[in-house]
Amino acid sequence: MDRDASIEDLLGIMARLRDPRDGCPWDLKQTFASILPYTLEEAYEVAEAIEQSDMPALRDELGDLLLQVVFHSRMAEEGGHFDFHQVVRSICDKMIRRHPHVFDDQDLGSPEAVYASWERIKAGEREAKSSAVETGALAGVAQALPALIRAEKLQRRAARVGFDWDSVDGVLDKVAEELDECRETLADDLPFSERVHEVGDLLFSCVNLARHLGVDAEQALRAANHRFESRFAKVESGLAEQGLEPGVEVRDEMERLWERAKKDPQ
């Protein structure tokens, strides 16, 4: 294209790909369910580009994520449910509704007041569209969220109605308690399901600790994964320089290289 592309260009491309007569066989075969894994993958690739401060990659990954929105919208239009423009209208209405301090000249005074207003409006929206089954402070937290993110959202919802620790000290004590209970599951006479239960409680408590420390648990674990990958790559490189490969028989050398890798700047 000689001119700057527009969203209408992308919508046209997707319509062509989904054309029953001349479209792409792969694209025509897809459903909401089959595309979902790609949608999630693209969202995580956006996150990775941001974490790496890679702006060219972020540009490309945002495009891939936008394609997912267009793809789902096209399939919904074909089914007579809604189209892309209605998706845009919906989010525009939502953003205006949730920012009365900007669009209705309400004076909220502080970021904290803005956040409180945002949460009140969201709660009202959830209540308006909830079924009789979906009631209560925890209603509407998506089941498909990654477990760490969902745990934090559930905890924040409970905290808004007063069900929370008064200080981080209580959370630290709870983490220690759950760790002790995990140790107890090592006893031979306990079923494995009890171990799964206690490990889950420990992880949930760790998410609570992260929340009280102002840390995003999902991002913290992603960063820890990156550090582990980087350090282990240095261990493998150090072994290769000695003509060795990772294995139990070189455990001591792996530990030495690991400690050295930990001291290197990340």
Kindly tell me the number of DSSP H helices and DSSP E strands found in the chain: 12, 0
* DSSP letter, residue 1: -
pLDDT in tens, the chain (266 residues): 557 889 999 999 999 999 999 999 999 999 999 999 899 999 989 988 998 899 999 999 999 999 999 999 999 999 999 999 999 999 999 999 888 888 887 777 778 787 777 778 877 777 777 654 466 788 878 888 889 999 999 999 999 889 999 999 999 999 999 999 999 998 877 889 999 999 999 999 999 999 999 999 998 999 899 999 999 999 999 999 999 999 999 999 999 999 999 988 76
Is pTM beyond 0.95 here?
no
The pLDDT assigned to 264 comes to 83
SS3 34: helix
* DSSP letter, residue 53: T
Q: What is the CATH number of domain 7-97?
A: 1.10.287.1080
Task: Give yes or no for a contact between 118 and 100, defined as CB atoms under 8 angstroms apart.
Answer: no
SS3 232: helix
Helices (H), 107-191: 111-129, 147-160, 168-184
Which residue carries 């599951």 as its tokens?
Answer: 185
Nearest-angstrom CA–CA distance, 250 and 172: 36
The pLDDT assigned to 122 comes to 76
The pLDDT assigned to 143 comes to 86
Task: Give yes or no for a contact between 236 and 259, defined as CB atoms under 8 angstroms apart.
Answer: no
User: Which residues, in sequence order, are CB contacts of 93 under 8 Å at separation 6+?
Assistant: none
Nearest-angstrom CA–CA distance, 25 and 16: 11
Closest-CA residue to 176 (of 197, 146, 206): 206
Q: What is the CATH number of domain 130-215?
A: 1.10.287.1080
Nearest-angstrom CA–CA distance, 14 and 75: 10
Q: Domain residue spans in the chain?
A: 7-97, 130-215, 219-263
Same fold, 7-97 and 130-215: yes
Task: Count the alpha carbons within 13 Å of 141 in the hemisphere toward its beta carbon.
Answer: 17
